[in-house]
Structure 1
Amino acid sequence: MFGIGLPELLLIMLIIVLIFGASRLPELGRGLGEGIRNFKKSLKENAEEEGKK
């Protein structure tokens, strides 16, 4: 996976925890999930509109 191993992933996670704090990680994950969900929904709606034309 892009040449990133377990030690690199652990280091990235540690840096994220230090920057944002452990209490804000669930909020960040929730926001990221909602953003991805909205993006997929908009792509699906656009495909349906194109299919109707």
Structure 2
Amino acid sequence: MFGFGLPELCIVLVIILLVAGPSKLPQFGQALGSSIRGFKKAIAGDEAEKIAEKKQDQA
């Protein structure tokens, strides 16, 4: 889609390492992981609401 391959991702990782520094990478990874978990929970919650609405409409 955007033409990102492994070489491009490695370059981005090196740039992030240079900007943030090695001491900040664990914090960055933790923040990214918690953001992804929150996003997945929000999507799962939306799907659960849609299922509940369908059940109410059928009843």
Bin for the TM-score computed over the shorter chain? 0.7 to 0.9
Count of residue correspondences: 51
- Structure 1: which 5+ runs fail to align? none
Alignment-derived partner of residue 11 in structure 2: 11
Percent identity between the aligned chains?
Answer: 35
Alignment-derived partner of residue 46 in structure 1: 46
Q: CA RMSD in A?
A: 1.5
Change (3 A) 1:18 1:45: same
- Structure 2: which 5+ runs fail to align? 54-59
Change (3 A) 1:26 1:52: same
**Structure possessing the higher radius of gyration over alpha carbons:** 2
Give the TM-score normalised by the residue count of structure 1: 0.79
